[in-house]
Amino acid sequence: MIQRLMRYLLGYCVIEIRGLMPEKCVNIMLSRGVPIWNIRRVGACVMRACVAFGSIHRARDAGAASGCEIVEKRKRGLPYIGMRMWRRKALILGCLVIIAGCVLTTQIVWTVEIEGADRVEEADILRVLAENGLTQGAWIPDIDRNRIEDKLLLAMPDIAWAGLQIDGVNVTMKVVEAVPVPPVKDLSVPRDIIASRSGLIERMIVLDGMPQVQEGDYVAKGQVLVSGTIVHENGVTRRVHAMAEVWIRTYYTDECLIPPQKSGLIPTGESVKVFFLINKEKEKEKRITGRVPVYALSSIEEETIGPELFGWRLCMRHYLEMEREKTDPAEWEKTLRTAERETYRRVIAAIPPGVKIIDKMTRYDMISDGGVRLSVWVQVMENIALPVDIGG
Amino acid sequence: MAKGQGQKRTAAFLELPYEVVCGLPRVTLIGMEQMLIENHRGIIEHTGYRVRVNTSIGVIRVEGASLNVERIGGDDIRITGAVHELYMPGQQEGAGG
């Protein structure tokens, strides 16, 4: 295998030795150092063999010396392919250009992306990177990761860590933003903690101050939960900066009315015509023919027949039995789900940040006109501790 | 003393390979499919069923089917194919095989 591969790489020529004594030709080739192999008889006066690339002229000389004719049958191997390709210079040039293009285009930055920037503007990071040579079209081997990361950290104090990742032609700058330093609390100002909302206390953590309520108590909005005024047994009063977390279990709710999908009435086909004599001045009416039907839902059409005589006129009343138009259950279900989603979204939007959502409940109530009242309750755990400075 | 006898004694005394010192052919048969003849002096005849190789002790004849000279160098010949009979120099026609 390796020998065949080497022969292919070095190149060889398949020749035919034609003559009365091809063996003699082979012996002369051997004596002249012509590499020859795979000798086989293919005819009475013809032998076929392989000679190495570059030995064909010596093989011809050997053939001439032995009175044989050397005929080249096939040329194989890389040198011959190279010689064939060398004649097609435009093709070689095109291949070289394509290879060079591929190499060059994989050595420049195509995209620069930023990951992890929420508070910091990506445009600012890109500007700093561009100032340090990292932008679209930058030469990748020239990118100094450590230097760019250091420069970015120095230029933008809001970034705590930066890591440059190069994936092929895409460059990603991963950043971790610095946690903002919380403002320093002035603990010298005495204050109370009051309830910002009514509810049942579920959990209470008092860090400083005198608790006025305990877990399980129901508190109203504005009620003092933790007092910043501490009265000692010896009568000394001390005012502190009360700090506490008071969590209550409460609900946020909202509702919406869903009108009936189709409130129209349609006739069932049942109808009765009844004739009346009506006197509008005396507010009297007298049924002449027919019986007034009893329909759950009906429509009445009244029509006056003939002229009015002595205040009386003849009327025909057409009683039509009606029924509610049927609704499409799938469409109705879709309407309900959409309304529920929208109501839930409104409730969530009304919940202040920092509140933990525990549960959700939805209730549908049918109302008289065929519509539905949709109510959504969202059960939450909310910290209702509201600090209020104590005056004086 | 003949020249060959002196070479044999020298090879035996120096413990050298006999065929190297004396220039004798060395024939290696691998199964019935490959044959290696070292210290040859050229091909005399090569057909698909017979190969005759000249050596210092005479002509070695190989008969078989689909015989090819897979490799030939200045010192060795590798013959492949189905080797049926091998005739050494001086061997009679009926005694081979």
- Show which residues on chain A lie within 8 Å of chain B, measured between beta carbons: 22-23, 26-27, 30-31, 33, 36-41, 47, 49
Identify the CATH number of the domain in which residue A124 sits. Answer: 3.10.20.310
How far apart CA A200 and CA A378 sit, in angstroms, is 16
Give a yes or no: residue B14 inside a domain. Answer: no
CA distance to partner chain B, nearest, from residue A16 (Å): 14
Higher pLDDT, A236 or A163: A163
Backbone angles phi, psi at A74, to 5 degrees: -145, 145
Residue B3: what pLDDT?
58
Pairing of strands A111-115, A170-177: parallel
Owning domain of residue A315: 265-323
Q: Which whole-number Å values give the CA distances from A206 to A184, A209, B75, B97, in the listed order? A: 20, 7, 104, 112
- How many structural domains does chain B have? 1
Among residues A202, A248, A206, the alpha carbon closest in space to that of A227 is found at A206
Q: What would the pLDDT profile of A183-234 be if each residue is shown by its tens digit? A: 887 888 889 999 988 888 999 999 988 899 989 999 999 999 999 888 888 8
Residues in chain A, overall count: 392
Is residue A66 pLDDT above 60, yes or no? Answer: yes
Residue A194: what pLDDT?
93
Report CB contact under 8 Å: B70, A37: yes
Q: What would the pLDDT profile of A9-20 be if each residue is shown by its tens digit? A: 999 999 999 998
Mention every residue, 6+ apart, whose C-beta is less than 8 A from residue A114.
Answer: A122, A125, A126, A172, A173, A175
Residue A266: what pLDDT?
82
Tell me if A134 sits within 8 A of A171, measured CB to CB.
yes
Q: What is the mean pLDDT of residues A146-157?
A: 92
Contacts of A26 in chain B (CB under 8 A): 42-43, 46, 69, 72
Give a yes or no: residue B78 inside a domain. Answer: yes
Give a yes or no: residue B1 inside a domain. Answer: no
Count Cβ atoms below 10 Å from residue A57 Cβ, excluding itself.
10
- A238 and A302, same domain (yes or no): no
Name the pLDDT band for B96 (thresholds 50, 70, 90): very low
Q: What would the pLDDT profile of B45-56 be if each residue is shown by its tens digit? A: 999 899 999 999
Identify the three-state secondary structure at position A45: coil
Contacts of A38 in chain B (CB under 8 A): 68-71
Q: What is the mean pLDDT of residues B65-87?
A: 91
Residue A290: what pLDDT?
81
- Any A CB within 8 A of B88 CB: no
Higher pLDDT, B97 or A274: A274
Name the pLDDT band for A291 (thresholds 50, 70, 90): confident
Mention every residue, 6+ apart, whose C-beta is less than 8 A from residue A60.
Answer: A70
Backbone angles phi, psi at A240, to 5 degrees: -125, 170
- How many structural domains does chain A have? 4
Give a yes or no: residue B13 inside a domain. Answer: no
How far apart CA B75 and CA A120 sit, in angstroms, is 81
How far apart CA A288 and CA A285 sit, in angstroms, is 10
Is residue A370 pLDDT above 80, yes or no? Answer: no
How far apart CA A152 and CA A120 sit, in angstroms, is 12
The minimal CB distance from B46 to the residues A31, A36, A47 is found for A47
Q: What is the mean pLDDT of residues A33-62?
A: 91
Count Cβ atoms below 10 Å from residue B32 Cβ, excluding itself.
11
How far apart CA A318 and CA A273 sit, in angstroms, is 4
How far apart CA A301 and CA A233 sit, in angstroms, is 88
Give a yes or no: residue A337 inside a domain. Answer: no
Backbone angles phi, psi at A232, to 5 degrees: -80, 170
Q: How many CA atoms lie within 13 A of A27 on its CB side?
A: 17
CA distance to partner chain B, nearest, from residue A20 (Å): 11
Sign of CA dihedral B13, B15, B18, B19: negative
How far apart CA B89 and CA B41 sit, in angstroms, is 14
Owning domain of residue B29: 24-91
- A271 and A240, same domain (yes or no): no
Give a yes or no: residue B61 inside a domain. Answer: yes
What percent of chain A is predicted at pLDDT more than 70?
Answer: 98
Give a yes or no: residue A292 inside a domain. Answer: yes
Q: What would the pLDDT profile of B81-91 be if each residue is shown by its tens digit? A: 999 999 988 77
Tell me if A285 sits within 8 A of A322, measured CB to CB.
no
Mention every residue, 6+ apart, whose C-beta is less than 8 A from residue A340.
Answer: A362, A374, A376
Highest mean pLDDT out of A73-77, A97-101, A258-262, A317-321: A97-101
A135 CB burial (10 A radius; 0-12, 13-18, 19+): middle
Report CB contact under 8 Å: B43, A36: no
Mean pLDDT of chain A: 88
Contacts of A37 in chain B (CB under 8 A): 69-72
Residue B92: what pLDDT?
64
Q: How many CA atoms lie within 13 A of A26 on its CB side?
A: 34
Contacts of B51 in chain A (CB under 8 A): none
How far apart CA B72 and CA A37 sit, in angstroms, is 6
Give a yes or no: residue B4 inside a domain. Answer: no
Higher pLDDT, A262 or B88: B88
Pairing of strands A298-309, A36-41: unpaired
Backbone angles phi, psi at B64, to 5 degrees: 175, -145
User: Rounded to a whole number, what is the largest CA-CA distance in chain B?
Assistant: 45
Q: What is the ipTM of this complex?
A: 0.73
Name the pLDDT band for A263 (thresholds 50, 70, 90): low
Q: Which whole-number Å values give the CA distances from A232 to A163, A192, A237, A239, in the listed order? A: 57, 17, 6, 11
How far apart CA A346 and CA A391 sit, in angstroms, is 38
Give a yes or no: residue A215 inside a domain. Answer: yes
List the beta strands (DSSP E) in A259-392: 265-279, 284-289, 298-309, 312-324, 356-366, 372-383, 385-389
Is residue B97 pLDDT above 60, yes or no? Answer: no
Residue A262: what pLDDT?
64
- A205 and A153, same domain (yes or no): no
Contacts of A22 in chain B (CB under 8 A): 46
- A65 and A24, same domain (yes or no): yes
Identify the three-state secondary structure at position A43: coil
Identify the CATH number of the domain in which residue B46 sits. Answer: 2.60.40.2000
Strand order in the sheet with A199-208: A218-219, A199-208, A243-258, A372-383, A356-366
Q: What is the mean pLDDT of residues A331-351?
A: 89
Tell me if A360 sits within 8 A of A377, measured CB to CB.
yes
Report CB contact under 8 Å: B68, A40: yes
Give a yes or no: residue B55 inside a domain. Answer: yes
Identify the CATH number of the domain in which residue A14 sits. Answer: 3.30.70.260
What's the gap between Cα A11 and its chain centre?
58
How far apart CA A176 and CA A243 sit, in angstroms, is 32
